[in-house]
Every structure is written in structure tokens, then in C-alpha cells.
Amino acid sequence: MSHYIVLRVVSKLMIPVILIFALYVQFHGEYSPGGGFQAGIVFTAAFVVYALLFGLDAAQRAVPPVVAHVLAAVGVLIFIAFGYAPLFLGGNFLEYKVLLPNDQAGETLGIIGIELGVGITVAAVALTLFYSFAGRDVR
């Protein structure tokens, strides 16, 4: 689709906006609708648009599949780390309020942390799925 000049120009304007919106959905999730899951999908949408317009190999040069695979695991590990961290501070599994002296601040820190883990996992997994499906017909 690389010969559609209008699509190329518009996508170059839109892709940064999509990425910023994904970050907004991610880090504003405590105050407005959204969170890690939605943000991850929106973040990947930007790369899917890029791959559709500029080709799969261009997208894979930007984010190699290996990076996506590693990040998918890293996201889950961040989540699990925020689950285990309270155990060392005298709390239960996933009991974030012991992370900081102030209960509310601790809870908020925990929520931001695990939402980040979910966001990274979802974005990486969605990208992995897209690569796996789209990269298969190259023979």
C-alpha cells in the first residue's frame, strides 16, 4: 500500500498521536476510563498501521519480533514482582499498601506498577500475534 501518498502522509501525522493517546490511556487510567489493557492494544495499533502502509519488514526493523517476545515476558514479570514485593515488607501477595508508608500512596504505586506490566504484556503480545499472522505468507 506504499504508493498511496495521502495515506502515507496522514499516517505519519496520526501514528505519533495514537502513541501519545495510548500513553494517556495508560497513565491516566486511575482518573478516566482505560488502563494497561486498553493502552497496550492502542499502542500496538500504531505499529499495525505502520506495518500496513510501509511493509512488514519496515515495522520489524522498528520493533524486531524478538523484542516483542522478551517484552511480553517482562510485563508479566513486572506484575509478579509487584505481587511478591509486599511479601518482603510484611504484607500479603499483591497487598500494595505496605509498599510506601502512606496506605493510599502505596496502593496507587502498586496500581501504576501492575498496569504498566499489563500494558507492556498486552502491547507486546498483540504485536507478536500480528507478526505471526502477517509474516506467514512470505514464501
Partner 1 sequence: MEVRRWGCVIEAIIDIVLLTFLVIVGVAILLVRNLLAVTMLTGIYSLLVATLFVLLDAVDVALTEAAVGAGLLVILMLATIALTTQKEKVHAARQNAVALVVVVVTGAALIYGTLDIPPFGDPNAPAHVHLSPRFTQESPEEIGIPNMVTSVLATYRGIDTLGEAVVIFAAAVGVLLVLGTGRVRRRRDTEEHEDEARERS
Question: Is 99 in a helix, a strand, or coil?
Answer: coil
CA dihedral angle for residue 90, residue 107, residue 113, residue 79, rounded to 10 degrees: 50
Q: Rank residues 10 and 73 by Cβ distance to partner 1 and give the closer one.
A: 73
Which residue, 28, 27, 22, 23, is CA-closest to 42?
22
Interacting residues with partner 1 between 62 and 81 (CB under 8 A)? 64-66, 69, 72-73, 75-76, 79-80
- What Rg, from alpha-carbon coordinates, does the chain have? 18
Residues 65 and 60: their CA atoms lie apart, in Å, by 6
Contacting residue, 46, 53, 83, 99, with partner 1 by CB under 8 A: 83
98 binds partner 1 (CB under 8 A): no
Which residue, 104, 107, 105, 79, is CA-closest to 95?
107
115 binds partner 1 (CB under 8 A): yes
56 binds partner 1 (CB under 8 A): yes
121 binds partner 1 (CB under 8 A): yes
Which residue, 101, 112, 125, is CA-closest to 79?
112
104 binds partner 1 (CB under 8 A): yes
44 binds partner 1 (CB under 8 A): yes
Contact residues for partner 1 (CB under 8 A)? 25, 29-35, 37-38, 41-42, 44-45, 48, 56-57, 60, 64-66, 69, 72-73, 75-76, 79-80, 83, 93-94, 96, 103-105, 107-108, 110-111, 114-115, 117-118, 121-122, 124-126, 128-138
